[in-house]
Amino acid sequence: MAPLAALLATITLCASVALAVENTTYFNPILPGFHPDPSCIYVPEWDNTFFCASSSFNAFPGIPLHTSKDLQNWKLIGHVLNRREQLPRLAETNRSTSGIWAPTLRFNNDTFWLLTTLVDDDRPQSDSSRWDNIIFKGKNPYDPSSWSNAIHFNFTGYDVEPFWDANNKTYITGAHAWQVGPYLQLAEANLDTGTVGDWQIIWNGTGGMAPEGPHIYRKDGWYYLLAAEGGTGLGHFVSMARSKTLTGPYESNPANPVLTNANTTSLFQTVGHADLFQDGSGNWWGVALSTRSGPNYTNYPMGRETVLTAVTWPPNEFPIWTPISGQFTGWTLPPSSNSTLRGAGPLVASPETMAFSPNLTTLPLHFTHWRYPHPSYYTLSPPEKPSSLRLTPSFLNLTGLNGNYAGVQHSPDGQTFVGRRQTDTLFTYSVDLSFSPTVLGEEAGVSAFLTQNHHLSMGITLLPASASTTRFPGINATVTESGATLIPQVRFQAASYVPVPATVVAPLPGAWRGLDLTLEVRAVNSSHFAFSVGPAGRRLEMRTLVTASNDAVSWGFTGTILGVFATRNGGEGRASAYVTGWRYVGEGQFRS
């Protein structure tokens, strides 16, 4: 009996050892919602933590930083661009595609380095002032003030990264502006001063449109060069090349493209713009951007998100990437609890309920504006209404004065808007609003906002009774005023490059006047948002004003931000809006 017991014990032991090395199941996206162009590193010196940076275009604060220990649970720890004086010019870019493009995050010599480009997409490709290339450096990523002001360097292009060679010479690589290129270029550089040497072409890619996003990795005596090609839409792909010398010539990997979902039926499309990093056990991982649009590419309000995959990189060979999907198995990481993650922001995927109680002294870290906010337009617990967020209306509405393609927002006060990213396919977002417009055009409400030219918005506003197009059914809708009399109305308005539903205006039912209202945006399915309103705290009385396709906010480089706005619509009004409640609940994440 004894030998058999020992044998059984041995078998059990072997089984548990085998179990321990079995691969783990991972889920995508790891950073859902507007988190494009990921760049990630693993930093043993900072408590064995993974750090990822994303691009942010015109959103402020800009360049979010997330951390993780297990590559599955992620936490927002702050933003590289967190003060206006770091980069005043973000206020001046005037196109929806302008702002902060792809960053590269690296750690070297006890310093975090973040290289990126502030793009003014209004200027010609060949104009070097279109491409404001910048270096931020910081010693402590958890401390916003640690990040330097922008150090500018001269490069007529974008997607820049720092690279340190074995001899400690420092270089910058980047994508030369593609309509006058396309080339991937390299120059020697001083990252402390922004001085750069002569740019030289190192690779032209495999022939896809717009070779960009270059990253160089040194391994086994080779320089491996990774690139994105095909543009950031359905044709996006990742290619690689390698050389024995940094400046080339680089030979293309015969297996290119090494990662793409082009020409597949996957929900995860536009896979590209990747980065590679190693975990504490030496295993390789890749991140990339992807859009959960399916090949139809019509409804993808969350835009370009961050996805993860396992990479196998044998000695002296090119790495092998696991294709991107909603679920995959890859290298085992030690389980980690969320509580070991430092940092001030929320965990990705945590629901939120905000009452703006008086002990709240700053807006939560994940709250986002469009360009720099006017600080005095956002007041927490003002004396006249504690436990609220007071919004001072901006002269401009969300679209801006001129609703044309350029989407100009030039005005000292910008737009009063604050929101959070849509991070779930299905969600309910709502706010409680105390707002009494007294002047024509004063308006406050909620928006599913992608850019100034792409948003679905519902506000309370003062308009002539004759402007009504409909009425809320089934409630005490008594409205006696008519014609030119100004009355509070609920207005749904949309802006997009695709046809949008017509503006809908309904008089605020008599029984609701003077009450705090709940305004809600809910994803009823993956393609439609419902906009509803009703007296705060009386759910059964909520009425849906409009259900609209989210194709209006499925476009371009950014992703939908759900938020509140207050505006004078170019008029004279001064009425503040008070947000007394704020809720976001994820109700479903589509992964296939």
Ligand X SMILES: *[C@@H]1O[C@H](CO)[C@@H](O)[C@H](O)[C@H]1NC(C)=O
Residues annotated catalytic, as ranges: 37, 212
- Say how many residues make up the chain: 592
**Closest CB 414 distance from ligand X, rounded Å:** 14
Residue number with the smallest Cβ distance to ligand X? 510
**Residue 88 or 537: which CB sits closer to ligand X?**
88
Does 224 bind ligand X (CB under 6 A)? Our answer is no
The region of 98-106, 201-209, 369-377, 482-490 touching ligand X under the rule CB under 6 A is 201-209
Q: Give the H/E segment covering residue 5.
A: helix 2-21
The region of 27-35, 400-408, 422-430, 577-585 touching ligand X under the rule CB under 6 A is 400-408
Let me know: does 322 contact 314? Beta carbons within 8 Å. no
Strands, DSSP E only, in 452-503? Answer: 454-464, 486-495
Q: What's the alpha-carbon Rg for the chain, to the nearest Å?
A: 26
**Residue 296 or 470: which CB sits closer to ligand X?**
296
Enumerate residues 239-268 that contact ligand X by CB under 6 A: 257, 260, 262-263
Q: Can you tell me which of 43, 151, 347, 542 binds ligand X, judged by CB under 6 A?
A: 347
Q: Is 459 helix (H, G, I), strand (E, B) or coil?
A: strand
Does 10 bind ligand X (CB under 6 A)? Our answer is no
The region of 3-11, 395-403, 530-538, 552-560 touching ligand X under the rule CB under 6 A is 395-403
Let me know: does 416 contact 565? Beta carbons within 8 Å. yes
Does 201 bind ligand X (CB under 6 A)? Our answer is yes
Q: Can you tell me which of 349, 498, 502, 524 binds ligand X, judged by CB under 6 A?
A: 349
Nearest alpha-carbon partner for 580 in 531, 516, 532: 516
Q: Give the H/E segment covering residue 3.
A: helix 2-21
- Give me the sign of the Cα torsion angle 263, 264, 267, 271: negative
Enumerate residues 145-164 that contact ligand X by CB under 6 A: 154, 156
**Residue 59 or 177: which CB sits closer to ligand X?**
177
Q: Which DSSP state fits 15?
A: H
Q: Can you tell me which of 310, 391, 521, 546 binds ligand X, judged by CB under 6 A?
A: 310
Chain centre to alpha carbon of residue 2: 62
| Helix runs in 498-540, H state only | none
HEC profile of 201-270: EEECCCCCCCCEEEEEEEECCEEEEEEEECCCCCCCEEEEEEECCCCCCCEECCCCCCECCCCCCCCEEE
**Residue 3 or 314: which CB sits closer to ligand X?**
314
Residue 410 CB contacts under 8 Å (≥ 6 apart), including other chains: 92, 94
Q: Can you tell me which of 109, 265, 281, 362 binds ligand X, judged by CB under 6 A?
A: 109
Rounded Cα distance between 170 and 300, Å, is 39
Q: Can you tell me which of 231, 233, 235, 501 binds ligand X, judged by CB under 6 A?
A: 235
Does 408 bind ligand X (CB under 6 A)? Our answer is yes
- Give me the sign of the Cα torsion angle 326, 332, 333, 334: positive
Q: Can you tell me which of 148, 173, 269, 399 binds ligand X, judged by CB under 6 A?
A: 399
The region of 53-61, 398-406, 461-469, 580-588 touching ligand X under the rule CB under 6 A is 398-406
The region of 141-149, 197-205, 552-560, 575-583 touching ligand X under the rule CB under 6 A is 197-205
Does 25 bind ligand X (CB under 6 A)? Our answer is no
Q: Can you tell me which of 36, 64, 286, 330 binds ligand X, judged by CB under 6 A?
A: 330
Q: Can you tell me which of 49, 73, 434, 518 binds ligand X, judged by CB under 6 A?
A: 73
**Residue 154 or 327: which CB sits closer to ligand X?**
154
Enumerate residues 410-469 that contact ligand X by CB under 6 A: none
The residue written with tokens 């820049």 in the block is 160
The region of 39-47, 171-179, 394-402, 458-466 touching ligand X under the rule CB under 6 A is 394-402
Whole-angstrom CA distances from 466 to 300, 443, 469 are 36, 17, 8
**Residue 34 or 321: which CB sits closer to ligand X?**
321
Enumerate residues 83-102 that contact ligand X by CB under 6 A: 92, 94
Tokens at 542, concatenated: 């909520």
Residue 19, Cβ neighbours under 10 Å: how many? 9
Q: Is 287 helix (H, G, I), strand (E, B) or coil?
A: strand
Enumerate residues 563-582 that contact ligand X by CB under 6 A: 569-570
Nearest alpha-carbon partner for 364 in 343, 385, 384: 343
Rounded Cα distance between 592 and 589, Å, is 9
Nearest alpha-carbon partner for 155 in 191, 187, 182: 187
The 468-507 contact track toward ligand X, x by CB under 6 A, reads: --------x-x--------------x-x------------
**Closest CB 4 distance from ligand X, rounded Å:** 30
**Closest CB 5 distance from ligand X, rounded Å:** 29
Strands, DSSP E only, in 244-360? Answer: 251-252, 268-278, 284-292, 304-312, 320-321, 327-330, 352-354
**Residue 128 or 278: which CB sits closer to ligand X?**
128
Does 550 bind ligand X (CB under 6 A)? Our answer is no
| Total residues at interface with ligand X (CB under 6 A) | 50
Q: Give the H/E segment covering residue 16.
A: helix 2-21
Rounded Cα distance between 63 and 73, Å, is 19
Q: Which DSSP state fits 11?
A: H
Q: Can you tell me which of 121, 122, 516, 541 binds ligand X, judged by CB under 6 A?
A: 122
**Closest CB 403 distance from ligand X, rounded Å:** 5
Query: Residues in the site for ligand X, rule: CB under 6 A?
Result: 23, 73, 92, 94, 109, 122, 128, 154, 156, 167-168, 183, 201, 203-204, 230, 235, 237, 257, 260, 262-263, 296, 298, 310, 312, 322, 330-331, 337-338, 347, 349-350, 357, 359, 397, 399, 401, 403, 406, 408, 476, 478, 493, 495, 510-511, 569-570
